[in-house]
Structure 1
Amino acid sequence: MKKRLLLLLGILPVLATAQLTYTITDFSTTYNATIEIEKGFENHDFKKGSFSIFNTTTAKQVLFIASDELIIETDDNTEEKTNATSLPYGRQNFLIFQDFNFDGLEDVAYMDGRNSCYGGPSYQIYLQEHQTFVLSPEFTRLSYEYRGMFQIAEKTKTIHTTTKSGCCWHQFSEFKVQNNKPIALKISEESMNPNGMLLDYVEKVRVNDQMVETKYSVLPDSGFDIQTIFSFQFKNGKKMNLVHAFSNQLYYVFTDKENKVELFYDEDFIYHKDKNTLTFTRKNTSYQISATGITVLTPSKNIPMNADAETIEGELASLLSLTLSNMHIE
């Protein structure tokens, strides 16, 4: 069932002495709605008034909400008249009729302000039960605590939310409905690592009744001022990257086949000009990078790791053309 935002083509404004009334008749075969704005509040951002939903068969009122902060946006280019007026579909965001809990019945959300993340729209959510509508604090919370109205995936019967803080922290969540309440299935958080080079992820996945947490980092592949100087892959899909960034530093990033970082290093490098090798030491292990692979030197043994020749990109010797604050040449 497609989401239907209700500034539909059958809204009839009626001017009365004390209020302006809109009748919405074409959003459902079962229900009609009326919106009443008190006179003098027609042009306010927050309008004083009320709205009601009626059963079309019985004419019974099944929901009534009075508010001092109704937010009803209409097309500024549309002149409201006392006779029938058609308002553009895309301008309406006050009422949303959709099946939120996947029980086959249309529920209703009405916009009560801009109280979600970054001043986004917030909604009160009412679930349809026994031919009436009942406020759901749990669904309402989803529209308040995240970035605007949540999204419905009808095929998977899941609910999706997003939120953010500043430029560098984002969260994406997926919910299922259980006992008429949204339950988190997966939460994924993305943020910039303090080193300014990597993206950090925290993923929480529901296993039985608990959320299991996994943390990892990745090297961005686009949208960042990062230059890959030299890289190659191995037969098992892992990859070595030497990258240069805005800070005039050299970075070594070793990733697995899913692009997750296994080793990140950004301290002291030595380039050996006569051998065309780059070395660095981390704890009691040294790493020697050549044009054909890596040799890992431990106190007990040396481990050669040969690159897949077809995946080599760039040249190690190009390090000589850069001025890098954390590399010296011997």
Structure 2
Amino acid sequence: MEITPKYMNRLIVSFIFFSLSWIMFSQVTFVTDSFSDHYYGKVYVADTTEILSPGWIAIYKKGTDKELIRVEAEDLAVSYTNNSVEVNVKELPYGEQSVIMYEDFNFDGIKDFAIQDGQNSCYHGPSYQIYLAEKGQFVFSDEFTSLAQNYCGMFGVSSEDKQLYTMTKSGCCWHQFARFDVVQNKPREVYRLEEGIDFSIPQFFNTTIFEWNGKKLVETSSVRNLSVDIKDCLFSFDIPAKKKKVVLFNSDEYITYAFLNEFNEVEYFYPNDKDTASFELTTRNESDTLRFSTKDAQYIIYNTDTKVGIKVITKGKIYDMPGDVYSRESGRMFYLFDYGLVNLRGEDLRKWLPALSD
């Protein structure tokens, strides 16, 4: 086929047209003005075909078109609707969070701006720069911005409580939740809850609370819970008179003892140091006895077909805490030898009677 000059010109025009169309589609500046009667925003996106794109966000005053705020970003996550960008979307902590938020952050009755500056919060989540309304201007706040950078996404706002809320995490197994008052136009942390797995003993789940005491944030409570289902433990029983529970469980091939209250909180556990701790188990036909000692006391768990309990010997006194045999999980303890537990010693002294001949 012979390519004539006329046909070549058509090819060139078509190529230019499609190239311009692609450029126009990829690089877009959106205008959004529905969030305020006094201000509007522009959002420039370098490549709308990408989930994350370089760009910038600017806020202008209506009527004068004066630029009040401009924030550059390497990674904007823009949500589009009806050929525009969404504003004031805040699905905390992991949901959609728009590039512009217009809300009263310092509870002075005047709305402020949060402008997305990239994905710099936890786990490459959206981060924001905060500009507070002040005498007709918007002033950058380093203190408020830190709340939208150092946690997971944008912070929450409770106008009713006049408090700000943050959340952050590390992996699957540690979370932090915090609340802030606003004092002298700055956020002040007044409450923090940290919860997560105790990595030294993964079967424990720790919860620690810090509260403002008028001068500083101090620890006010720390609770350790057993996160393992009782039915999955090696051995357990209730002590009804004390509203307590004795539990033995396998922690990385080490037998571990825990003494729980009625709220499943761990009041005491052993061992603290797996390398120096040991349990001594003696089993007979009619009974099991498990012993372990600390520097302050000796513990004896006794178990027969008709009774179960624990004795604590300390300072020359014996404290006997009988358990409920009907609450007992796993029956006898001789099978503990089958687990190959590193810190379990002892003897299986059960004697087997010869079978009767016919």
Q: Could you say what secondary structure the match of 1:33 adopts?
A: strand
Q: Could you say what secondary structure the match of 2:153 adopts?
A: coil
2:86, 2:229 → 1: CA distance? 37
1:300, 1:180 → 2: CA distance? 61
The alignment status of 1:137 with 2:142, answered yes or no, reads: yes
Cross-structure match for 2:249: 243
**1:280 aligned partner, one-letter code:** F
2:261 to 230, 249, 256: 256
Change (3 A) 1:200 1:42: closer
Larger radius of gyration: 2
The alignment status of 1:113 with 2:118, answered yes or no, reads: yes
Cross-structure match for 1:174: 179
1:36, 1:301 → 2: CA distance? 76
Q: Are 2:235 and 2:329, in contact at CA under 8 Å, matched by a contact in 1?
A: yes
Change (3 A) 1:85 1:196: closer
Cross-structure match for 1:7: none
Change (3 A) 1:150 1:34: closer
Cross-structure match for 1:54: 61
Cross-structure match for 1:4: none
Q: Could you say what secondary structure the match of 2:144 adopts?
A: helix
Cross-structure match for 1:329: 347
State the percentage of identical aligned residues: 30
1:257, 1:269 → 2: CA distance? 26
Mapping for residues 29-178 of structure 1, pairs under 5 Å: 30-37=37-44, 45-55=52-62, 59=64, 61=66, 63-67=68-72, 69=74, 71-75=76-80, 85=83, 93-178=98-183
2:299 to 284, 287, 292: 287
Cross-structure match for 1:11: none
CA deviations 1:218-263 (Å, max 9, x no partner) are 2333599953531314444333222234x33321111334443232
CA deviations 1:135-192 (Å, max 9, x no partner) are 1111100111112211223443322212233444332222111122111112233342
1:224, 1:111 → 2: CA distance? 47
Q: Could you say what secondary structure the match of 1:317 adopts?
A: coil
Cross-structure match for 1:300: 316
Q: Could you say what secondary structure the match of 2:78 adopts?
A: coil
Change (3 A) 1:68 1:168: closer
The alignment status of 1:203 with 2:218, answered yes or no, reads: no
1:225, 1:181 → 2: CA distance? 50
Cross-structure match for 2:279: 269
**1:31 aligned partner, one-letter code:** H
Change (3 A) 1:286 1:110: same
Q: Which runs of 5+ in 1 are unaligned?
A: 1-14, 79-83
What TM-score results when the alignment is normalised by the length of structure 2? 0.71
What TM-score results when the alignment is normalised by the length of structure 1? 0.76
Query: What is the aligned length?
Result: 301
Q: Are 1:277 and 1:316, in contact at CA under 8 Å, matched by a contact in 2?
A: no
Q: Are 2:125 and 2:152, in contact at CA under 8 Å, matched by a contact in 1?
A: yes
Q: Determine which structure has greater relative contact order: mean sequence separation of CA pairs < 8 Å that are 6+ residues apart, divided by chain length.
A: 1
